[in-house]
């Protein structure tokens, strides 16, 4: 299966809603590159990624390949802050993606709900 990405510029951030699934590192890399390109095009430094309906059917090697590629292209130096609302069906893979990217100095954090993701992304204190 494939996936779709819908981008919307919001007040203070770029929203990326993804639906579908990826089955390999090449598809996941294409997904990441499209997200980075849209952030650069819109000059957004903060991105809320809604992946609640995006299934990551990836192996640990796929995740490491993705993270290595993003590091190789300088993704960690772009100044992007990514808050990702994860799909509950693949929390283990989502956590692995977070770990791999954070270990490469990316500002990336996974969440289960939109409110917490937006608060972290926009630096708003929690009540």
Ranges in the chain, pLDDT < 50: 127
CA angle 38, 8, 42 (to 5 degrees): 35
Partners of residue 119 on adjacent β-strands: none
In angstroms and rounded to an integer, the radius of gyration of the C-alpha atoms of the chain is 13
Q: Where are the domains of the chain?
A: 3-122
Residue in 61, 49, 56 with CA at minimum distance from that of residue 118: 49
What's the predicted TM-score (pTM) here? 0.90
* Beta strands, E only, the chain: 3-10, 13-22, 46-56, 81-85, 107-111
**Residue 77 has what pLDDT?**
81
Question: In which element (H, E) is residue 26 found?
Answer: helix 25-42
d(CA 102, CA 108): 6
Q: Which CATH number fits domain 3-122: 3.40.50.1970, 3.10.20.30, 3.30.750.24, 3.90.1150.10?
A: 3.30.750.24
Helix (H/G/I), strand (E/B), else coil: 82: strand
How do residues 53-77 score in pLDDT, each as one tens digit?
A: 999 999 999 999 999 999 998 877 8
The average confidence (pLDDT) of the chain is 92
């Amino acid at each position: 299966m494939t996936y779709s990405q819908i981008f919307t510029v919001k007040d203070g951030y770029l929203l990326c809603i993804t639906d579908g699934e990826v089955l390999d590192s090449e598809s996941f890399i294409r997904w990441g590159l499209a997200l980075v390109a849209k952030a650069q095009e819109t000059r957004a430094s903060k991105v809320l990624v809604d992946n609640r309906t995006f299934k990551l059917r990836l192996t640990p090697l796929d995740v490491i390949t993705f993270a290595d590629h993003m590091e190789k292209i300088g993704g960690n130096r772009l100044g992007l802050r990514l808050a990702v609302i994860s799909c509950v069906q693949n929390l283990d893979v989502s956590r692995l993606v977070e770990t791999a990217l954070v270990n490469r100095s990316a500002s990336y954090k996974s969440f289960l709900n939109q409110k917490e993701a937006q608060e972290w992304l926009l630096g708003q204190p929690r009540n």
